[in-house]
Amino acid sequence: MAYSQNNSFNSINSTDCSLSSVILGKFKDVNLDESINCRIDYKSTLVLFCAKCNTILGDSLGICGEYVDLNSVICLKVTEDVLVKGDQKPSLEGPLATCIYNSLQCSGCFSVVGGALLATPPHLSALRDVFLLQKDRINCYNVKNSTMVNGSTLNFEQKSMGGELSELKQDLESQMKRLELLKDLLCRGK
């Protein structure tokens, strides 16, 4: 996950620097599915905190992008400290007009930190059943730099893979042609 900052990071005092090693240890303790052969660079992970009370809400491993119109981070998963309020609310104005959503609340200070869309028009269907954390209501701890920054200063947009997929397709097609030529040569030799 790539992220960029718009403003400079604020350093955390030396007593909080041990937080980095504690969080890094927790990430390594996570049991991953053994059938998935993946490497995760835990040192480049961000931890998402409530901006009011510093309760951990999630991390960058659960982030799949951002919704710029709402200034929100799109998360596939959040911690148990994010409470989904049971009352469904309609949105009548703005980019979420005609949507029905549940509020997301921090369990530490009970402030609203985002929303989860339940019913949307077709153009927002990709945002159903994910968590939208408002960037101005979260702080992000950078494990690598041991620094904390306001979430609204970071960019969580995903890069388009269209060009890379096109190149990969061309490479695979050329390899397939080579394999077909080898097959023909082998068949002629019999």
Share of the chain above pLDDT 90, in %: 17
Residue 119 and residue 180 in one domain: no
Residue 128 and residue 169 in one domain: no
Average pLDDT, the chain: 77
Residue 112 and residue 181 in one domain: no
Residue 171 and residue 155 in one domain: no
Residue 175 and residue 125 in one domain: no
Residue 168 and residue 80 in one domain: no
pTM for this predicted structure: 0.62
Q: What pLDDT is stored for residue 20 in this prediction?
A: 52
pLDDT band (50, 70, 90) for residue 160: low
Residue 29 and residue 77 in one domain: yes
pLDDT (tens digit per residue) in 58-101:
888 888 888 888 888 888 889 999 999 878 888 878 888 888 98
Residue 19 and residue 113 in one domain: yes
Instruction: Please give the tally of structural domains in the chain.
Output: 2
Residue 38 and residue 129 in one domain: yes
Residue 129 and residue 178 in one domain: no
At residue 11, the 3 state secondary structure works out as strand
pLDDT over 90 (residue 3) = no
Contact call for residues 62 and 77 (beta carbons, < 8 A)? yes
Q: What does the DSSP assignment read for 86-127?
A: EEEEEE-SGGGTTEEEEEEEETTT--EEEEEEEE--GGGGGG
pLDDT (tens digit per residue) in 19-58:
555 555 555 554 444 444 456 666 778 889 999 999 999 8
Q: What pLDDT is stored for residue 53 in this prediction?
A: 93
Question: Residue 139 and residue 109: Cα distance in Å, rounded?
Answer: 15
Residue 131 and residue 88 in one domain: yes
pLDDT band (50, 70, 90) for residue 153: confident
Q: Containing domain of residue 142, as a range? A: 4-159
Mean pLDDT calculated for residue range 107-134: 89
Residue 176 and residue 120 in one domain: no
